[in-house]
Amino acid sequence: MPAVLLWLRVLYGGGLLLLPVGVLRRLARMSLDGRTVRVARVLGARQLLQAALARHPSRRGLLVGAGVDTAHAASMVALSAWSPRAGERVLARRQARTAAVLATAGASASASCQRS
């Protein structure tokens, strides 16, 4: 499971960092502003950093990653509720779901990880 999680992060993070407009258009299904694209690149870099740190997974590392993903999901739920922009709300809901899936996968993988 950790290898699958690592590659999901690499693909998702790489897409957000290198091809943010294409990825965001597919996720939001509408055009987005430059600020949203810049934020997506930062989030893509974070995903790649988490993937790099997960190359040699430990139970603690996976749980920290799951915590980061949980915090991201919570912040996206808040953004989806309070943003005045329809595109941001749609994208935030989808980001929240993605982050929740990654958090769940990381927490699940930590349970079977042999390294502390």
> Residue 47: what pLDDT?
93
* SS3 sequence of the chain: CHHHHHHHHHHHHHHHHHCHHHHHHHHHCCCCCHHHHHHHHHHHHHHHHHHHHCCCCCHHHHHHHHHHHHHHHHHHHHHHHHCCCHHHHHHHHHHHHHHHHHHHHHHHHHHHCCCC
> Residue 64: what pLDDT?
92
The parts of the chain modelled with pLDDT lower than 70 are 1, 115-116
- Reported pTM: 0.85
Render pLDDT for 83-103 as a digit per residue (tens, 0 to 9): 998 888 988 999 999 999 999
